[in-house]
């Protein structure tokens, strides 16, 4: 019987499925191999160890979220609102993945500038400039403030809070108006 080759992407997809379903705690060479339909040997030969698999899984999961965000880029009135709604929806519907990406040491940022660079979506800052009639610097500051604010609500959702969509939208709108006033003063 010919040797079956398990690709790096197949292993990462299997690990991502485990994280989404059961959380990062479910990851082991054995569980990933079982999900990928292989022995543990391909995992160690392709990644060296579980730490490297998890590091690469983080990037793989971020790519999955980028695709998720693209699928929902028209859910709001504009790209800015769609971005916030997508983050909140991810926290509510993909709690384990949200924890892995944003509520664990894997994000590894040491400044808010790094947070911005890590999560800002192309085109959203331009949208904010137009919506608020703001300079690029003011729009960037407002976007960062909204990232932090929206992430706080998302973290509460990921931890089990049950806010209505209407209340979330109201809070986001109020924060946007307050942040516009703050960057204009």
Whether the per-residue pLDDT at 40 is higher than 90: the answer is yes
Whether the per-residue pLDDT at 3 is higher than 60: the answer is no
| Contacts of residue 33, Cβ cutoff 8 Å, sequence gap at least 6 | 14, 39, 40, 42, 43
Q: What is the pLDDT of residues 103-151, one digit of tens each?
A: 999 988 999 999 999 999 888 999 999 988 999 999 999 999 999 999 9
| 20-28, long-range: CB < 8 A, 24+ apart | 20/94, 20/96, 20/97, 21/96, 22/96, 23/96, 23/99, 23/100, 24/54, 24/96, 24/99, 24/100, 24/104, 27/53, 27/54, 27/57
- Using pLDDT thresholds of 50, 70 and 90, give the confidence band for residue 1: very low
Mean pLDDT of all residues in 159-182: 94
Tell me what pLDDT residue 4 has.
58
Burial 68-101 (b: 16+ CB within 10 A, else e): bbeeebeebeebbbbbbbbbbbbbbebbbbbbbb
């Amino acid at each position: 019987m010919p040797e079956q080759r398990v690709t790096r992407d197949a292993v990462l997809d299997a690990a991502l499925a485990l994280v989404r379903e059961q959380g990062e705690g479910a990851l082991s060479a054995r569980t990933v191999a079982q999900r990928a339909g292989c022995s543990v040997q391909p995992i160690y030969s392709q990644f060296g160890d579980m730490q490297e698999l998890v590091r690469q899984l983080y990037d793989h999961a971020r790519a999955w979220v980028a695709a998720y965000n693209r699928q929902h880029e028209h859910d709001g009135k504009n790209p800015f609102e769609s971005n916030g709604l997508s983050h909140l929806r991810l926290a509510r519907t993909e709690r384990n993945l949200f924890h892995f990406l944003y509520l664990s040491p894997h994000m590894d940022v040491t400044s808010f500038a790094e947070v911005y660079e890590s999560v800002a979506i192309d085109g959203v800052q331009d949208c904010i400039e137009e919506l608020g009639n703001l300079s690029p610097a003011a729009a960037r500051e407002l976007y960062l403030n909204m990232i932090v604010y929206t992430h706080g609500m998302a973290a509460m959702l990921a931890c089990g809070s049950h806010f209505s969509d209407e209340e979330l939208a109201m809070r986001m709108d109020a924060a946007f108006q307050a942040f516009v006033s703050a960057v204009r003063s």
